[in-house]
Amino acid sequence: MTAAVAERSRVLAALDTVRDPELDEPITTLGFVSTCVVSAAGDVVVRLRLPTYFCAPNFAFLMVADAYDVVAALPEVRSADVALEDHFASTEINAGVAARAGFAVSFAGEALGELDELRRTFLSKAVLAGTDQVCRPLVAAGLDPAALATMTIGDAPPSAQLERLCRRRAELGLRTDPAAPLLVDPGTGAPITGAEVSLHLARARTSRVGIEANTGICRGMLRHRYGTTGAGEEEDEG
Amino acid sequence: MYEKNGEKYFVVDTHMHYWNAAEDNWVEGAEQYAKGWIECFYGYHGLGPDDTRWTLEKYKKYSEDDLMSDVFDKGHVDVAIFQPTDLAEWYKEGFNTTERDAILFEKYPDKFVLNTRWDPREGEDGLKTLRHNVERYGCKGVKLYTAEWRQGSRGWKLSDPEAYKYLEACQELGIKNIHAHKGPTIWPLDKDAFDMTDIDHAATDFPELNFIVEHSGIPRIDDFCYLATQEPNVYAGLSVVVGGLMHSRPRFFARCMGELLFWVGEDKMTFGSDYAIWEPKWQVEGFVDWDFPDDEQYADYPRLGVDGKKKILGLNAAKLYGLEVPEEYQLGYGKPAAQDDAKLVTQ
C-alpha cells in the first residue's frame, strides 16, 4: 500500500464521521462523496454531490463545512479542497466554507442565524428514532411497554443500536451513564413516565419512519441523477 | 373509474399539472434555476416503474393529448384537479399557471377542477387577481407554494398577516380548500424551511377552511402527523407519498401509510398523482392492490380495506370539492344495509 492510498483511506474514515444531519447517516455510505483524491504530498481534493439541484442549502452547508473540518484536521493533510458540485447554492456554500465564514455570513441577508439549532432539532429526532431501535426489539420479545418507564440505560441489553443512541444523546448533552433513564424527552432530558410512555413510543416510531422514508427517497434520486457509486457508498435495505 | 374484483372506485386526482418547462420558456439569466427545477422533478420521475419513464425532452413539455390520454384514458381518473405553480421568476410564461391549466379546464369542464394560487407578497393586485379567477373559473381551491422566490424574497408563511388577508378573502369567495405544499423545499434557509407551525396557526384560526398538506410533509412526515392529529381540518395529500415510495421503496411506503392511517386516518387522506411527475395509471392500480406486508413491524398500524381505499382514491376529495359521485361508486352500494343504516326501525 502506498502512502497516498493509506492516506486516502484515512480521509475516507474521517469523512465517515460526517453525517447528513437529517438522515442521520454518514455522507460516505449515502453516496454523497463523488471524489476523494489524495496526492503524495498530502493535498486532498474532495467533491460532494447531493440528490437534487435544490437540496436545502442549510443541510448542504453543514455537510460541506463538517467535511472540510474533519479532513483539514488530519495530521498528514497539507491542504484540503472540499467543495459541493451541481447545486444551486454551491458558489456561496463553497466560498463560505473555504473562507471559514459561517452560514449567516455566506448568505448575508438570507439566513437568520447559524445552524446549531437546526442540528439540535435533527439530533432530537435521531434520539427518538434511536429509542425506537432500542425499545422495539425489547417489546417484541415480550417486555411490557410500561416497564420501559422505569428502565435505565444500564438495564438495556448492550447493542450497536444502544451505543448509537448514547452517542446521539451525548451530542445533545443528555445523560448516558448506566443509571440514566432509558426514555427521556430529547429536548429537556426529563424522564418519560407513566401515561406518557405509549405516546412517546409512537413518536419514536414515527420519527424513525420519517428518517428512513426520507433516506429512501434521497438514495433513489441520487441513483437516478448520477448512476455511479460514491466513495464509501453502501447499499441500504430498500 | 377503476374496477377490480367487482369493486368500483371513483378516482379523483387531487394534484396534477399541465406544465411548460421547455427551454424557450426559461427566463434569461435564470436558466440554471429553470433547468435545475425540471431536472429535480425528473429525479422524482425516476422513482416510478422503469416502463413508465419518459425522456427528459418530453418531460419538459408534454402535449394536451399526452395528458388526456395518460390521465383519463389510461389513468382511470374521473376528475382531475389542477394545482398551479407559477415560478414566474424562472419561466417566462410561468411553469404551470392558472391560465395555462385553464386552457384544458375550459375545453373539458366536466373532467377538471381548476384551482388557482396566490402569494401574499402580491398585495392588493394579487387579491384582485384572486377575485377575478374565482369569478371566471369558479375556483374552490388554491395551491400555495410558500417557498416561491419573488423579487429577492425567498418564501413566506401562512401565518403572515398578509397571508391572513388572503385566507379571509378565500372564505369570503367560497374557496374551501387550501392545498399547501409542505414537502421538499428549497428556501428559506433557516429552520423555517421545515417548519409547519404556520399551517397549525392558520388551521386553528380558519376552522371553516380545509388545509390539505401536499406530500404529507415528506420529508418531515413526523412533524406533519403530530400537526394533523391536533387540527380537525388538516388533511394528508398523498401526492409524492404514493408516487415516490410505493414502487421504489415498498417497505417505507407501507410504514408511511401506516403512520398516516395511525395519526391522520383514512377519512382525511386524499390521492394525488402529481402528474406529470408520475402517471396515475400505475399509482391507482398499485394502490388498489396494495396491502401491508405480512410482518410483525406493521402490527401497530390500522388496516386499510376496500372502503378506505375508495375514500382515499376519490370519495374524500369528492366531499371536499362537492363533486357528484354516481351511486354505484358510493360506499356500500349493492350491499345489504348495515343495521345502523335503518334509522327508523326500532329494534
- What local confidence, expressed as pLDDT, does residue B338 receive? 54
Nearest CA in chain A to B36: A53
Rounded CA-CA distance B299/B293 in Å is 10
Q: If pLDDT is split at 50, 70 and 90, which confidence band does A1 have? A: low
Mean pLDDT across A199-219: 92
What does pLDDT average to over chain B?
A: 91
Minimal Cβ distance to B43: which of A58, A209, A224? A224
Rounded CA-CA distance B33/B10 in Å is 38
- What local confidence, expressed as pLDDT, does residue B332 receive? 85
Q: State CA A19 to chain mean position distance.
A: 3
Those residues with Cβ within 8 angstroms of residue A49's Cβ, 6 or more apart along the chain or in another chain:
A31, A32, A33, A34, A84, A85, A86, A222, A225, A226, A230
Mean pLDDT across A14-21: 95
Q: pLDDT at residue B318 above 90?
A: yes
Q: If pLDDT is split at 50, 70 and 90, which confidence band does B339 have? A: low
Nearest CA in chain A to B155: A110
Question: What tens digit of pLDDT does each residue of B138-155 get?
Answer: 999 999 988 777 777 767
Q: How many CB atoms lie within 10 A of CB A229?
A: 12
- What local confidence, expressed as pLDDT, does residue A234 receive? 87
Q: Give the phi and the psi of residue A165 in degrees, each rounded to 5.
A: -60, -45
Annotated domain spans of chain A: 3-114, 117-215
- What local confidence, expressed as pLDDT, does residue B195 receive? 75
Q: Which grid cell sits at B72?
A: 383519463
- What local confidence, expressed as pLDDT, does residue A214 receive? 87
Question: What tens digit of pLDDT does each residue of B279-310 get?
Answer: 999 999 999 999 999 998 898 899 999 999 99
- Nearest CA to CA, how far is B39 from chain A (Å)? 8
Question: What tens digit of pLDDT does each residue of B19-73 get?
Answer: 999 999 999 999 998 999 999 899 999 999 999 999 999 999 999 999 999 999 9
Rounded CA-CA distance B260/B302 in Å is 10
**Cα dihedral A113, A115, A116, A120 sign:** positive
Q: If pLDDT is split at 50, 70 and 90, which confidence band does A180 have? A: very high
Minimal Cβ distance to A220: which of B46, B296, B297? B46
Chain B from 72 to 91: CB within 8 A of any A CB: none
**Cα dihedral B219, B220, B222, B228 sign:** negative
**Domain architecture of chain B: domains with CATH:** 2-346 (3.20.20.140)
- Nearest CA to CA, how far is A74 from chain B (Å)? 30
Nearest CA in chain A to B48: A220
Q: pLDDT at residue A114 above 70?
A: yes
A234 touches chain B (CB under 8 A): no
* Homologous superfamily (CATH) for A3-114: Fe-S cluster assembly (FSCA) (3.30.300.130)
- What local confidence, expressed as pLDDT, does residue B72 receive? 98
Lowest mean pLDDT among A6-20, A58-72, B150-164: B150-164
Q: pLDDT at residue A32 above 60?
A: yes
Mean pLDDT across A186-215: 93
Q: From chain A, pick out residues whose CB is under 8 angstroms from the CB of B33.
A: 88
Q: If pLDDT is split at 50, 70 and 90, which confidence band does B9 have? A: very high
Q: Which grid cell sits at B74?
A: 389510461
Residues B91 and B80 sit within 8 Å (Cβ to Cβ): no
- What local confidence, expressed as pLDDT, does residue B197 receive? 87
Chain B from 220 to 239: CB within 8 A of any A CB: 220-223, 225-226
Q: pLDDT at residue B345 above 80?
A: no
- What local confidence, expressed as pLDDT, does residue A238 receive? 53
Q: From chain A, pick out residues whose CB is under 8 angstroms from the CB of B258.
A: 209
CB pairs A-B closer than 8 Å: 122
- Nearest-5° Cα angle at B123, B121 to B129: 105
What is the residue type of A18? V
Chain B from 248 to 267: CB within 8 A of any A CB: 248-249, 251-253, 255-256, 258-259, 262-263
Q: Which of A65, A22, A9, A15 is nearest to A210 (CA)?
A: A22
- Three-state SS string across chain B, please? CEEECCEEECCEEEEECCCECCHHHECCCCHHHHHHHHHHHHHHHCCCCHHHCCCHHHHHECCHHHHHHHHHHCCCCCEEEECCECCCCCECCCCECHHHHHHHHHHCCCCEEECEECCHHHHHHHHHHHHHHHHHHCCCEEEECCCCCECCECCCCCCCHHHHHHHHHHHHHCCCEEEEECCCCCCCCCHHHHCCHHHHHHHHHCCCCEEEEEHHHCCCHHHHHHHHHHCCCEEEECCCHHHHHHCCCHHHHHHHHHHHHHHCCHHHEECCCCCCCCCHHHHHHHHHHCCCCCCHHHCCCCCCCHHHHHHHHHHHHHHHHCCCCCHHHCCCCCCCCCHHHCCCCCC
Question: What tens digit of pLDDT does each residue of A148-162 get?
Answer: 999 999 999 999 999
Q: pLDDT at residue A219 above 70?
A: yes
Contact B154/A213, CB-based, under 8 Å?
no
Lowest mean pLDDT among A78-82, B191-195, B235-239, B272-276: B191-195
Q: State CA A62 to chain mean position distance.
A: 10
| SS3 state of residue A22 | coil
Pick A11 or B333 by higher pLDDT.
A11
Q: If pLDDT is split at 50, 70 and 90, which confidence band does B337 have? A: low
- What local confidence, expressed as pLDDT, does residue B154 receive? 67
